[in-house]
Amino acid sequence: MTLITLNMASIYSKQGNLDKALTCYMDGVKGLEVYEGHLARLEESRGWIDASQKQSAHKHMMAALGRIGSLKLKLGDNDAALEAYMSLIGTVEEDSPVASHVEKAKAHIKCATIFRQREGTENREQSVEHLREAHRMYKTLYGGQHKDTAAIESSLKQWLAEDKKS
């Protein structure tokens, strides 16, 4: 049922019905949280669990959190978008699937952008820290010569130069 809800969210989003899409994505995340809890209890009682089930649920949840953040941005609610991205970042662990780490790296870029648009030294520092982490992750995921890694590095250098001037 949860995957159907997430598919509906995607369809609503493509149709431009952002409010319904957002509701479905949020319902999907809740469903995945329940499912992950069920898997954890099953693992506890059995002593093992099929890792692919756990990883699949995690990947879907990270993708949904990323979409929630993106939709919140489109709706002009940067604070709620930041909350979704920070939740995603805090949920990805070392042993999470690679796809989840990709979502986390993208979330760092989104956070960096949101913080960069805000006033104040602390926000600028936060923006640089998120971009640094995104750069580190992209280097690990794609290598130093990848076009996205290079673009992030270029932005980071530009931001640092701008901050040094001010």
The pTM of the full predicted model, rounded to 2 decimals, is: 0.91
- The residue range of the domain holding 24 is 2-165
50 phi-psi bin (left φ>0, alpha ψ -120 to 50, beta other): beta
Cα separation, 138 vs 161, in Å, equals: 21
Looking at the structure of the chain, the number of domains it has is 1
Give 73-93 pLDDT, tens digit per residue: 999 999 999 999 999 999 999
Rounded Cα gap, residues 127 and 104, in angstroms: 15
pLDDT in tens, 40-75: 888 888 877 777 888 888 899 999 999 999 999 999
pLDDT at 166: 76
Q: How far is residue 128's CA from residue 144's CA, in Å, rounded to a whole number? A: 18
CATH number at residue 6: 1.25.40.10
